[in-house]
């Protein structure tokens, strides 16, 4: 069965530090991949998605992710984080019928 | 425009009680998904509707869980004889169409269920 794993449970950074959150998926075929973010007290919202084409995808708020098929990875990056990026981040793969298979989530805390 | 709404936002139930959780998707969205999110975990798929048809219920953890979407819009997730392990946030999401990654799933705020 498809699965998604995220390497870090909790990441603490200072403002202006660079961010990379790891995500690996298990499925070997064509796969659509997503990063969702949940800010404190808010609902899940889409940061970016990959379903074909350029493996480097750009999302909202300066986030980007790179799809590396040979490594089954879809890591999220941001060159310089801000305090407002404090949130929980979820990587997800699309399964049959469009259902999303989520990783465990990574809590990001950014110190001002 | 209006997003996905869910009610109630919080529900406390005594063990053994039945509960009903409501989801109002974005108008015109064909697909509707339910997910369960336990504390400290990512959301896990429960069930999926396309219009009024329930196409996948493979994620429902037991026959105490039942979902419906009789007119292809509002959906209700019902849990009978609640158990403590049912305590979680129940998320609803809707999208225009599903299955190709092209259309974003929009999530509601969730219902936090606590079973005491």
Report CB contact under 8 Å: A44, B31. no
Closest CA to A88 of A10, A1, A4: A10
Q: Which residues from chain B sit within 8 angstroms of residue A96, using beta carbons?
A: 56
Which of A44, A97, A103 comes nearest B99 by C-beta? A97
Q: Which residues from chain A sit within 8 angstroms of residue B7, using beta carbons?
A: none
Residue of B nearest to A96 (CA): B99
Reported as a single tens digit per residue, the pLDDT across B2-57 is 899 999 999 999 999 999 999 999 999 999 999 999 998 999 999 999 999 999 99
Which of B93, B101, B111 has the most A C-beta neighbours within 10 Å, making it the best mutation to test the interface with A? B101
Q: How far is residue A64 CA from its own chain's centroid?
A: 9
Taking a C-beta distance cutoff of 8 angstroms, is the pair A94, A30 a contact?
Answer: no
Residues of A contacting chain B (CB within 8 angstroms): 4, 6, 32, 34, 36, 42-46, 49, 51, 90, 92, 94-105
Confidence of residue B101 (pLDDT cuts 50, 70, 90): low
A69 compared with B101, residue with greater pLDDT: A69
Cα-based torsion angle of the residue sequence B48, B50, B53, B56 in order, rounded to the nearest 10 degrees: -30
Reported as a single tens digit per residue, the pLDDT across A35-78 is 999 999 899 999 999 988 899 999 999 999 999 999 999 999 99
Confidence check: pLDDT of B99 > 90: no
Report CB contact under 8 Å: B99, A49. no
Confidence of residue B62 (pLDDT cuts 50, 70, 90): very high
Dist. CA A60–CA A42, nearest whole Å: 16
Please give the mean pLDDT across all residues of chain B. Answer: 94
Confidence of residue A1 (pLDDT cuts 50, 70, 90): confident
């Amino acid at each position: 069965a498809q699965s998604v794993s995220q390497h870090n449970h909790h990441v603490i950074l200072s403002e202006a530090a660079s961010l990379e959150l790891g995500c690996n998926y298990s499925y070997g075929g064509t796969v659509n991949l997503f990063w969702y973010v949940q800010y404190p007290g808010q609902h899940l919202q889409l940061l970016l998605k990959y379903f074909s084409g350029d493996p480097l995808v750009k999302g909202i708020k300066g986030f980007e992710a790179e799809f590396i098929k040979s490594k089954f990875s879809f890591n999220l990056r941001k060159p310089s984080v801000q305090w407002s990026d404090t949130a929980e981040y979820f990587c997800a793969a699309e399964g049959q019928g469009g259902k999303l298979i989520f990783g465990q989530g990574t809590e990001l805390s950014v110190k001002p | 425009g209006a997003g996905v709404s869910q009610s109630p936002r919080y529900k406390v139930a005594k063990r053994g009680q039945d509960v009903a959780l409501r989801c109002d998707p974005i108008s015109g969205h064909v697909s509707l998904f339910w997910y369960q999110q336990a504390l400290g975990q990512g959301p896990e798929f429960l069930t999926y509707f396309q219009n009024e048809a329930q196409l996948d219920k493979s994620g429902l953890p037991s026959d105490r869980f039942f979902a419906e979407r009789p007119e292809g819009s509002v959906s209700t997730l019902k849990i009978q004889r609640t158990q403590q392990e049912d305590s979680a946030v129940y998320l609803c999401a809707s999208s225009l169409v599903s299955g190709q990654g092209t259309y974003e799933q929009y999530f509601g705020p969730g219902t936090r269920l606590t079973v005491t």
